[in-house]
């Protein structure tokens, strides 16, 4: 399996980092400029640390990178975390960065697009954007950890959300205790 994983500039970048660590297959990484700032602010990790978990890394301003084309084969794209600005652009059909262009390609090629928003609360505009994207075929998977899995740490809560993403791409995992 081949995945395009994008990290945008909202809080919750730990979800994307953990996803890159757990995702089996070839991982192609795109991180927005604000995502890089959040990476530093929330984790202290460097881009080199992050890039170690991806086979390919592309600049968000490189619209000539392979994921910008429908002829570039990949199985799914995951934007984690996904800003509401990115959601709004996608819902409006704006593809002005590699992240938004690759997501647009994913939708038009009828591949799996998983969007992991972390924002709360949501305005009517945000909800309408998410609805529009869901109708277009995207999976909206909010970063909302459950408590039936009895989390004992922040890592447990991150693992729950990442496990739900892995469920969407059909990857087996043991990141959380399932409902029994």
Asked whether the beta carbons of 102 and 74 are under 8 A apart, the reply is no
| Domain parsing of the chain, residue ranges | 2-168
- Residue 14: CB partners within 8 Å, gap ≥ 6? 42, 43, 154, 158
pLDDT the model gives residue 66: 98
Query: CA 57, CA 18: separation in Å to the nearest integer?
Result: 17
Q: What value, to the nearest 5°, has the Cα angle with vertex 158 and ends 153 and 160?
A: 100
pLDDT the model gives residue 179: 85
**Residue 50 binned pLDDT confidence (cut-offs 50, 70, 90):** very high
pLDDT single digits (tens) 67-95: 999 999 999 999 999 999 999 999 999 99
- Is this prediction's pTM over 0.85? yes
**What class does CATH assign to 2-168?**
alpha beta
- Residues in the chain, overall count: 180
Asked whether the beta carbons of 89 and 16 are under 8 A apart, the reply is no
Instruction: For the chain, give the mean pLDDT.
Output: 97
Strand, coil or helix: what is 80? Answer: strand
Q: Count how many Cα atoms sit within 13 Å of the Cα of residue 74 in the half-sphere of its side chain.
A: 26
């Amino acid at each position: 399996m081949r995945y395009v994983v994008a990290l945008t500039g909202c809080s919750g970048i730990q979800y994307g980092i953990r996803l890159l660590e757990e995702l089996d297959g070839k991982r192609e990484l795109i991180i927005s400029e604000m995502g890089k700032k959040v990476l530093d602010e929330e984790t202290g990790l460097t881009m080199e640390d992050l890039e170690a978990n991806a086979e390919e890394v592309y600049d968000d301003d490189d619209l000539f990178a392979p994921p910008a084309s429908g002829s570039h084969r990949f199985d799914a794209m995951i934007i984690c975390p996904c800003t509401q600005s990115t959601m709004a652009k996608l819902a409006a059909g704006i593809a002005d960065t590699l992240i938004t262009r690759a997501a647009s390609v994913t939708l038009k090629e009828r591949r799996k697009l998983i969007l992991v928003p972390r924002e709360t609360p949501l305005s009517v505009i945000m909800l309408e954007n998410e609805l529009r994207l869901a109708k277009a075929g995207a999976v909206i998977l909010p970063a909302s950890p459950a408590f039936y899995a009895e989390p004992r740490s922040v890592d447990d809560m991150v693992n729950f959300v990442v496990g739900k993403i892995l469920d969407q791409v059909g990857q087996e995992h043991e990141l959380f205790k399932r409902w029994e």
